[in-house]
Amino acid sequence: MVEMHEKRVYGIPGGIMFFLLLLAIAAGGSVARGGAVTGDPVVAIAGGGVVFLSLFLLTGLVVVNPNQAVVLQLFGRYVGTLREQGMRWVNPFNTKSRVSLRVTSFDSARLKVNDHGGNPIEVGAIVVMRVNDTAKAFFQVTDYNAFVRTQVEAALRNLVSRYPYDGDEGQLSLRANTVEFAELLKTELVSHVGAAGVEILDTKISHLAYAPEIAQAMLQRQQASAIVAARRLIVEGAVGMVEMALEMLSKQHIVELDEERKAQMVSNLLVVLCGERGTQPVVNTGTIYQ
């Protein structure tokens, strides 16, 4: 494959050429009419030839809109690219093809990919891009939009398979590090779409979830992990409160407890502090004699 690179051309200001060609048409028409009146066929043909040539040269006028480029080809050979907006005049034999330079974005299809742990994940991305080399975009790929979409799907599959959806603390994971994952996706795309003359401006993760067939099981797993973490926090707090209570009772000499009563008190406090429901106190009022 021949490596293509954009070559800038500027043409001739279209307003000047348009005015000159109109003068030539008017002059040629006047000469042709004069030859017809005088009966001189040579003059009439010459005047008509000037009019015909001027009309043909008018086809070299091309209007370049903002954020648009015009790729010029002469009999199949790449001549250059017009980027300067306004009306320009170029060789009428040039083939003119327009390429948009506007910033565009698209949302990729939702892909089902296995993460690093083998769990099926649904993932999608938004990609913002624009054409920065019209020669590559027009000549090196069949359709640069389709090319970029294919590369996005390949990059997503490649990256998702490297990382787990949920990782341990301090480990890069898809769910907890979506910003970093989007930057990795952008870097991956930049290294692959250069051949299409496309610049990747931004990437974002638009969809990330477990596949439906395992979503319920993974939800139960997350709920179980949350319950375990909450229980651990409750137990740590309860142990601290029991330790503080025993220390304050000992310092203030409110009551002297032997080891057996301390163990019973610790057990009762832990039951009260760690229980899911409110406790029902039992008040000892002493022994009733009949």
What is the average per-residue pLDDT within 150-171?
Answer: 84
Share of residues in the chain with pLDDT > 70 (%): 73
pLDDT at 29 > cutoff 80: yes
Confidence at residue 290, expressed as pLDDT on a 0 to 100 scale: 47
SS3 280: coil
- The encoded tokens of residue 185 equal 């996706």
What is the average per-residue pLDDT within 102-120?
Answer: 86
The string of pLDDT tens digits covering residues 55-80 is: 999 999 999 999 999 999 999 899 99
How many other C-beta atoms lie within 10 A of the C-beta of residue 191? 11
* Bigger pLDDT: 22 vs 235: 22
How many other C-beta atoms lie within 10 A of the C-beta of residue 8? 11
* Bigger pLDDT: 279 vs 106: 106
Q: Can you give the residue ranges of every domain in the chain?
A: 8-99, 104-210, 215-274
- The encoded tokens of residue 72 equal 């010029």
Contacts with 127 (C-beta within 8 Å, 6 or more apart), sequence order: 105, 106, 108, 148, 152, 189, 200, 202, 203
pLDDT at 156 > cutoff 80: yes
Q: pTM, whole model, 2 decimals?
A: 0.67
* Bigger pLDDT: 175 vs 73: 73
The pLDDT-based confidence of 222 (bands split at 50, 70, 90) is: low
Average pLDDT, the chain: 81
Q: Looking at domain 104-210, which of 3.40.50.980, 3.30.360.10, 3.30.479.30, 3.30.420.40 is its CATH number?
A: 3.30.479.30
